[in-house]
Amino acid sequence: MAIYIVRHAKAGDRGEWEGDDRLRPLTKTGRRQAEALAAWLKKEPLDAILSSPYVRCVQTLEPLAEERKLPIEPRKDLEEGSGGESLIRLVAQFEGRNIVLCTHGDLVEEFLEQLVEQELVPRGRADMEKGSTWVVEETGGKITGARYVAAP
């Protein structure tokens, strides 16, 4: 089974955004990345789509959800500041299922640090650009491998 951990696509600059950061949307480039993600995963078997409730994460998964006719399940445990451990818990929780989830850079960074410590990912390959995806393999709820797919 595979879990696709997506760092949200490109959004407007945090420093230039006025208002609640949770409402900051994708840029034109980010919307193109979201469309490319949907195209890339078009034929992959998927059981669920999960997202941080932040607008930029939901927008990253909207084209995929529309294409696949699956709802986007908002999850507080994917919000900024939730910690990389929340991704480990989701892998165990969705054991045996194929899911896509979208989250933020801080969670991906902490998650990758754990994979580096477990020697599943070499430190020099722990990339996490906006719009990129980590394809995580699991067996019995445990992470057995991970590979990086660069942002479109």
Domain housing 63 = 2-12+32-120+131-149
Whether residue 68 is contained in a domain is answered as yes
Does 85 reside within a domain?
yes
In a domain, residue 25? The reply is no
Is 21 within a domain?
no
Checking if the pLDDT of 87 tops 90, the result is yes
Predicted local confidence at residue 144, as pLDDT: 94
The number of folded domains in the chain is 1
| Average pLDDT value for the chain | 93
pLDDT at 13 over 90: no
Residues 6+ apart with CB under 8 A from 63: 34, 35, 37, 38
Please, which pLDDT band fits residue 66 given cuts at 50, 70 and 90? very high
Q: For residue 70, is it within any domain?
A: yes
Q: How far apart are CA 33 and CA 26, in angstroms?
A: 9
Average pLDDT over residues 40-45: 94
Domain-embedded: residue 24: no
- The answer as to whether 60 is a domain residue is yes
What crossing angle do the helices spanning 55-68 and 28-40 adopt, rounded to 10°? 40
pTM, entire model: 0.94
CATH number at residue 104: 3.40.50.1240
User: Is residue 42 included in any domain, yes or no?
Assistant: yes
